[in-house]
Amino acid sequence: MVVNSQVGGLSSKSTIGGGGLEVVSAGGVTSDTTVSSGGVLFLLGGASALGTTTLAPGSVEQIGSGFTLSGFTVSSGITLVVISGAVATGTVVLSGGTISTNPGGATIGTVVSSGGTVVGGTPVVGSGQTLTISAGQTSNGVIVLSVVPRLLPRAGRPTPRPSAAAAN
């Protein structure tokens, strides 16, 4: 079953069963949604997810072009997929959880607990953040951002200016 919530569309208190897909596009709203094992919730730019979204182990939340997801926790058995043009910031991946970043998708400030899985993407480590690579884990193509203070002519106070350097 596929449910599409588009401009002005509202899906409220819906349950997405195994093999089911709910696509919420610009102007569409999903509210108090439950995603069962095998179900997929797909949020595109301009979509809104209100209330509580409950993801069962084995379910997937996908974010697509133009959508920014902030402060999301990926619990055990859950997969978060970041499609091209989407951004996930401040994501926490718990043991047994998976974040998968497709080419063109961005993950910023992701924290991965021991036993959490990161697939694809380029890890970005900013000022004040730590990337921990434990025994048996590898990380390639890490981008380390540094902050270089500079003075603004009018404000007269330093502001951060990011510069990127690739590290392996």
pLDDT tens per residue across span 41-51: 999 999 999 99
Place of tokens 């990337």: 131
Q: Is 153 left (phi over 0), alpha (psi -120 to 50) or beta?
A: alpha
Q: What is the pLDDT of residue 165?
A: 52
Q: What is the pLDDT of residue 17?
A: 93
Whole-structure pTM value = 0.73
Confidence check: pLDDT of 31 > 80? yes
**Which two three-digit tokens encode residue 7?**
């401009």
Q: Rounded to the nearest 5 degrees, what angle is found at the Cα of 119, between the Cα atoms of 113 and 125?
A: 60
